[in-house]
Structure 1
């Protein structure tokens, strides 16, 4: 089975993927494919989904098209399909050539990790150093020129960030209300609908490149005055172009754009009035070339990374919306065979006759069980009159040591002799400290409790195939492994209201 385009798109090692996939016990099944993706670090969930629900799928998903695992990308009314080769199908063709199998995946957000560091304090420090150097080492007009360049860099960076959905208080204070009702002073129409595109960069991006480059050149004044003069003259073209777009194309003026034009105009005036002619320097020209290449490359790099991050966030948001659809969740949980436990008196909490009954199969020495118990406690706290909970600790006397027997006996004593909230606090205390003596002290008793109900309950769990922990059971149905346990919060209200689930 060949799916080169899909593997390349997911940026996986083709040789490693093929080895893991082919060596899977269930090769070449969908389970083998899904497990291999998980092994390679691509988190995914597989579904058997009728075609009528495919319109609700995210823009990117994996399906079996023409008997081959394929990446499917929505593109308007058509679909781009990537497997061995890339092809385009319409909706009817895709449905006809595909099975009901779909696989949703989440790509690793590398861009977010790269940009996790907050650069603002460092940036302000650089600004301060440049200003101190300018006002103490250069003439007054050169220092003011650099000050205007830094102002241009700062405003351009705010525009750059706002382009990717980050609201800027500075831009907001300059432009005022940018809602649809305030189009006369709106900056959005000019900034966000900028049709300029050179290697993916907009006109506002070149503003950042220009001012950043001019700031560096300004540090070497007056040696670079000849080159700075040339750039300030070229800025006249940018001023004219911006005014033309605002006045005649978009027919609205952008205040922040006018502010940048004012900065450019101020620099042009300083150049005409104060800058003296300096001889041409090959060294200054080489410095300028290197500086512009580095600045352009840096802005292009961060623009690409932020665009990928924005697209990834949108894709993952749609994935979550789809995954949190209650009808889909219900169909997944009802796929499991209903488990009917015997009536065993163990740790039962909450309202006994509640419509929603949660059982948690757990082990006090299981590290992952701590988070499961936190979810259970949170549900009891939020829905004290609408949910019942049973904690099902596995216990076999032939395999349990003295410490576990002592711990379970202490829990049983607290449960039978103290209020429910104290029992819950004791369980919470245990998962925080893992100290059997503390739990025994909380029980206030050294007597051995009857643990027969736990032995019977463990047999019950085992006969139902519940050997791993933690496991959530909702009204007898095992919580779907395609969902994280934390996802239960999104479905609790609907589960309690759904008569079919009672």
Structure 2
């Protein structure tokens, strides 16, 4: 092809908006990345925004691809869509090349091509279980929001058909709009910044709505912030419109609250214009709705004050404000916790930190002259896992499933050495019987079947059922192998199973096999060059 693979080169190149371009490229290549999951996965990579972050995430998704440096003479041999690295004096970025014709059509852009290109293997897809789970969760949330919105609209429509006053219907309609806008306002306050919110807020201010809502003036009174007060107000108004108006007019219920809201709107506009000197588009929107409602009420032929409706409105407001306050705090904490988790994930995905912690762990005692027959994977792999397990240990079964999944996902990168719990004193012990049977079958079977032998065992964990499939072999003397497993367990002071070692050192307690998955591509590169820890 006239290309050469690149490793160190792509590690050093920083790109702008890498995750967005990569996300769109994967979609065009036929994969289905969830936007939020993919963004979090790649941006929490310790090397982001280098191309190493992208290549590692692609490997985690089992996607076969090429990251190479080539020239225009070889573009006909690339698979498309491809990602071309554009390098300008001030910055660099990735550009999606959809077909070979793009090289000519967008010659001006691609004239700054550095020669680095990433392209997928034919029919190769990026697939991660967590990505699929995130997509299903997002779909369920959208369905819930649609159902909730349809219910609100249905209730409003049904109630409006039984109201003769156009003024009350208009107040109810603007109240429902205010309710939806208040949801966005409170979402922004607790830290959930959707694309729609960013676009709306960005239209009024470069800093968005955050600058206004984070100001001391927006802290509110008794924990009731302007956003929470707005949501509670319009929720109360909607409840009054749906359930109370048969007995009272909506105007009589809301006249005093609307006047109070009007005063708050004036104060809000003054604060944004002269104190904060910045604008919140969502706040302006809520203020406009409240102002329109107040004008409708003040110009109504039904204008009048009745104490009882006002007290009913106040009672509903007070009943709703505390649960809504707790919900907003709960969502705020959840978003904060998610942010902290992403930071922690980024820390755990840093290979240098992992290796530093691994160096401080216990060194495994092993006899290099003895060859264990329970070996799975590539014996020349740079990543060597050793697992101490018990034949009847459910966590060990889970660990084996995870490790075999990693071996399949990263072919050629991992060697797995299995050590089995084997009491030597009691030959009738069920653990001894299981270990002897596994070792005996393994000694008479092709080494390529070891993985299947162990997978079947940990799926069944029943000696009689397992022997029905694997027991038809000649009995061998496995006492030497059994003794090796026993001595290894004793010398390494194994007190619990599964205990996992990586390249001769115990895995740090802060890490599990799921964490190791994101580290494998980097560990393979580092250990493949270094040879050992």
TM-score range, shorter chain: 0.5 to 0.7
Q: Does 1:338 pair with 2:343? A: no
Aligned partner of 1:53 in structure 2 is none
Aligned partner of 1:454 in structure 2 is 482
How far, CA to CA, are the matches of 2:473 and 2:512 in structure 1? 39
How far, CA to CA, are the matches of 1:357 and 1:363 in structure 2? 20
Q: Does 1:476 pair with 2:467? A: no
Q: Which of these residues, 368, 372, 377, is aligned with residue 399 of structure 2?
A: 372
- Going from structure 1 to structure 2, the CA distance change for 1:143 and 1:419 (only over 3 Å counts) comes to farther
- Identify the range of structure 1 (141-150 vs 119-128) with the bigger mean alpha-carbon deviation: 119-128
**What RMSD in Å do the two structures reach over aligned CA positions?**
3.6
SS in 2 for 1:274: coil
Q: How does 1:200-215 map to 2 (within 5 A)?
A: 200-215=223-238
- Identify the range of structure 1 (335-344 vs 253-262) with the bigger mean alpha-carbon deviation: 253-262
Native 8 Å contact 2:389 2:497 kept in 1: yes
Q: Does 1:171 pair with 2:194? A: no
SS in 1 for 2:386: strand
CA apart distance, 1:337: 4.1
Native 8 Å contact 2:175 2:238 kept in 1: yes
How far, CA to CA, are the matches of 1:169 and 1:493 in structure 2? 32
Write out per-residue CA displacement over residues 211-249 of structure 1, whole angstroms, 9 at most, x where no aligned residue. Answer: 122223334334453341223233332333343345455
CA apart distance, 1:306: 3.1
How far, CA to CA, are the matches of 1:436 and 1:415 in structure 2? 17
How far, CA to CA, are the matches of 1:344 and 1:360 in structure 2? 15
Write out per-residue CA displacement over residues 58-86 of structure 1, whole angstroms, 9 at most, x where no aligned residue. Answer: xxxxxxxxxxxxxxxxxxxxxxxxxxxxx
Q: How does 1:335-414 map to 2 (within 5 A)?
A: 335-342=360-367, 343-396=370-423, 398-401=426-429, 405=433, 408-409=436-437, 412-413=440-441
SS in 1 for 2:451: helix
How far, CA to CA, are the matches of 1:293 and 1:312 in structure 2? 29
CA apart distance, 1:348: 1.4
Q: Does 1:277 pair with 2:299? A: no
Write out per-residue CA displacement over residues 150-183 of structure 1, whole angstroms, 9 at most, x where no aligned residue. Answer: 221111012211222323355356x1767xxx84
How far, CA to CA, are the matches of 1:427 and 1:311 in structure 2? 42
- Going from structure 1 to structure 2, the CA distance change for 1:242 and 1:417 (only over 3 Å counts) comes to same
TM-score (norm 2): 0.61
Q: Which of these residues, 235, 251, 256, is aligned with residue 261 of structure 2?
A: 235
Q: Does 1:216 pair with 2:239? A: yes
CA apart distance, 1:271: 1.6
Native 8 Å contact 1:407 1:436 kept in 2: no
How far, CA to CA, are the matches of 1:500 and 1:419 in structure 2? 25
Q: Point out which structure has higher relative CO (alpha carbons under 8 A, 6+ apart).
A: 2
SS in 2 for 1:236: helix
Aligned partner of 1:86 in structure 2 is none
SS in 2 for 1:361: strand
Q: Does 1:466 pair with 2:494? A: yes
How far, CA to CA, are the matches of 1:279 and 1:137 in structure 2? 23
How far, CA to CA, are the matches of 2:153 and 2:224 in structure 1? 28
Unaligned runs of 5+ in 1: 1-115
Unaligned runs of 5+ in 2: 1-140
SS in 1 for 2:497: coil
Aligned partner of 1:445 in structure 2 is 472
How far, CA to CA, are the matches of 1:225 and 1:406 in structure 2? 80
CA apart distance, 1:335: 3.5
CA apart distance, 1:434: 3.1
How far, CA to CA, are the matches of 2:393 and 2:196 in structure 1? 51
CA apart distance, 1:416: 4.8
- Going from structure 1 to structure 2, the CA distance change for 1:130 and 1:487 (only over 3 Å counts) comes to same
Q: How does 1:149-168 map to 2 (within 5 A)?
A: 149-168=175-194
How far, CA to CA, are the matches of 1:130 and 1:154 in structure 2? 15
How far, CA to CA, are the matches of 1:335 and 1:284 in structure 2? 70
Q: Which of these residues, 434, 450, 453, is aligned with residue 423 of structure 1?
A: 450
CA apart distance, 1:444: 7.0
CA apart distance, 1:389: 1.4
SS in 2 for 1:417: coil
SS in 2 for 1:338: coil
Q: Which of these residues, 280, 291, 296, is aligned with residue 265 of structure 1?
A: 291
Q: Does 1:197 pair with 2:222? A: no
Q: Which of these residues, 328, 343, 365, is aligned with residue 303 of structure 1?
A: 328
